[in-house]
Structures are given as C-alpha cells and as structure tokens.
Amino acid sequence: MAEIKQFNSFPVSFNRLKGFTNQKVLAEYYHHDVPSEPSVSVLNVAEYVSFLDFETENFIGIRFADGTNVDFSSQIYNTNLSNDSVVFSSKDDEETYCIITLI
C-alpha cells in the first residue's frame, strides 16, 4: 500500500514565510547526491517574500539581503510546515528538498 502524504498549500507556506521578513533565515537545499549535507545554504536576512497566484500554478520567492533569490513553483515542489520551518520538497525526487528556518 502506498504511503499517503498530506501537504500544505502554497498560500499556507507563504503566510508562514511572511513572518520571516526582515529576520535572519537559513535556507538549506538538500539533494539526493549528498543527502546528509546541504548542497547549498543561504544564511541572511529575508528582505522580501512574494507570492504569485496564477490559475494553474503558485510561486513563492524570497529575496535575501545579499541579493540572493530563491523561488519555488507549485508545479515542481510540494510544501509543508515542520515545527517552525517551511519545507519545499521536489515532486520528482523525494530526496531533494529545501528547509527554510527562522534563526
């Protein structure tokens, strides 16, 4: 029997991320090649969090103080809340995900 997973919607994750604005945030991308260590880490102040709602797709973007941007599309990622973090997991690879945590 297949495992059933329930994911939050992009608007729910966006509402959590809005609370991270102007605060130090850690975004860590994990990839199946090296599952125990993040492939990319961003530790900086989240200056701006945006949400775009198109008919068939949602987008969440975060701009960090150093100019780094991270973007997530509902076509590519599932999203969920985990404790005080927001998690975006790849729809194509269960071992590829991004954890965004308020520091």
Residue 23 exposed, middle or buried by CB count within 10 Å (0-12, 13-18, 19+):
exposed
Q: Give 5's pLDDT tier (boundaries 50, 70, 90).
A: low
Percentage of the chain exceeding pLDDT 90:
74
pLDDT at 4: 44
Q: Does residue 2 register a pLDDT over 60?
A: no
pLDDT at 33: 72
pLDDT 10s digits, 27-61: 999 987 776 788 999 999 999 999 999 989 999 99
Domains of the chain, earliest start first: 22-102 (2.30.29)
Residue 77 exposed, middle or buried by CB count within 10 Å (0-12, 13-18, 19+):
buried
Cβ atoms of 57 and 37 within 8 Å: the answer is no
